[in-house]
Amino acid sequence: MLVGGLFVLLRQLEHWLHQHIFKVGWLVTKSFQTTTILYYTFFLPGVFLHELSFWFVAGILNVHAKSSIQWPEAQEIAELKLSFVELSRDAGPFRLALITLAPLITGVTVVWLIANNLLDFNSFFALIRSGGLSDVSAAIGQLTSTTDFWLWTYILFTISNTMIPRLQDLKGLRIVLILIAVAAAALIFIGVGNEVVVQVLVGPVADALFLLAGTFAVIIFIDLIFVVLLGSIEAAIERVTGDSAMFRRGKLVAMTRQEIREMRQRQSRRETRALQSRNAAKESRKPSIYSRPLAIPGPPGEEPVTQSSSVIVEPDEQPALQTGTRPDDRRGPDMITGSATANRSSMATPALIAPPEPDKEDEDEGESPALHSTPEPTESEDDIIEMSDDDEDEMEDDN
């Protein structure tokens, strides 16, 4: 956890320092081409060690590497493009990850050697750890009195701010991490994992992490020194020239000191208005029982003496209905004023025209189909007479 926290802080300081070193170069030269050249020249010791370790490890792993040294092109981004050594495309992800990790290992080793053997940071931190002001001043005096202190500090600064690789180039190490995790799980399953893991963590891993944490602490201390120096130089140049610049989306944008001050004031006002609107929205909300804290009584004998103020939530008042007769505000149809006049031509009586008489052929063709239909059968007179005779015979039999 300590190493991780120091690494995050180191990355933040590195990002800030790269941007403001590039900004100071532009404030002095007002040219992106000249600023880019000075930017790469300032970090030349770190760039040289980075590319040298890159090329050396590539040769050890049998990966073809060729130099592509060329003059840096003008750029507006405060980022070192360390591509002076190109690798062949047949390098696998695992070997590429090892080659990319080489500058970090080399840089940490060189920083540790210079900090402990030449600058004696161990004695410096030992004196500071006591906490007395006299000891702190004595430690600073002892450190700065070292031969070529500022030269070695500059070399440490350039190496430490160019040695950290990009995380996207370390994807090949996932295979190694997976193998280590599988081996640890197998040892734990067998029953000897606890002893092996404890011995490894207490032994070489703990020593390596302690060394790495100490190295990161030294780098952070040196970076803070350069932050103070760089901030003072930048403020002095801006005050004298009246020019300034800022980074937007990673690119340097030239602005005057007054424009930056006004922009920051506008941004502060926008943030204040946004905060006020959020507070007003919270206050305008209706009180609800769900927003109140749950009242949990204390144990017997420890009930709270002061009770929280109660909040009564009342429903909204409904508008009262109007009484009395409702005014008739209905509007009738619009009337067309004036007098109607009759048209003389329309008053004339139309002539009666007799309809044409149909021809006989048309009458024959237009007859109803019912006239040509077969008439329904009817009872004949003989049947009626026969039925009447039968009725008379039945009547006689009954008598």
Q: Are 172 and 92 in contact (CB under 8 A)?
A: yes
Exposure string of 263-273, with b = 16+ CB inside 10 Å and e = fewer, is eeeeeeeeeee
Does residue 15 lie in a domain region? yes
If asked whether residues 126 and 187 sit together in one domain, one would say yes
If asked whether residues 149 and 260 sit together in one domain, one would say no
Does residue 225 lie in a domain region? yes
Does residue 82 lie in a domain region? yes
What is the per-residue pLDDT for 382?
45
Identify the domain boundary among 241, 261, 294.
Answer: 241
Q: Are 16 and 161 in contact (CB under 8 A)?
A: no
If asked whether residues 77 and 32 sit together in one domain, one would say yes
Domain count, the chain: 2
pTM: 0.62
What is the per-residue pLDDT for 258?
78
If asked whether residues 194 and 251 sit together in one domain, one would say no
Does residue 218 lie in a domain region? yes
If asked whether residues 165 and 67 sit together in one domain, one would say yes
Whole-angstrom Cα distance, residue 247 to residue 78? 9
If asked whether residues 129 and 264 sit together in one domain, one would say no
- Which residue in the block uniquely carries the two structure tokens 């399953």? 189
The pair of structure tokens assigned to 29 is 């030269």
If asked whether residues 104 and 66 sit together in one domain, one would say yes
If asked whether residues 186 and 210 sit together in one domain, one would say yes
Domain around 274: 243-285
Does residue 324 lie in a domain region? no
What is the per-residue pLDDT for 364?
44
If asked whether residues 138 and 34 sit together in one domain, one would say yes
If asked whether residues 41 and 176 sit together in one domain, one would say yes
If asked whether residues 47 and 154 sit together in one domain, one would say yes
Identify the domain boundary among 241, 274, 298.
Answer: 241
Count of beta carbons in the 10 Å neighbourhood of residue 293: 6
Whole-angstrom Cα distance, residue 227 to residue 18? 11
Does residue 183 lie in a domain region? yes
Identify the domain boundary among 208, 241, 274.
Answer: 241
If asked whether residues 186 and 254 sit together in one domain, one would say no
What is the per-residue pLDDT for 371?
41
Over the chain (399 residues), the average pLDDT of each successive run of 10 is 82 90 91 92 92 90 83 87 82 82 90 88 80 76 86 92 80 76 77 66 72 86 91 89 82 80 85 85 69 70 58 62 63 61 51 49 43 45 46 50
What is the per-residue pLDDT for 320?
64
Q: Are 266 and 277 in contact (CB under 8 A)?
A: no
Closest CA to 250 of 25, 22, 28, 72: 22
Does residue 364 lie in a domain region? no
Does residue 390 lie in a domain region? no
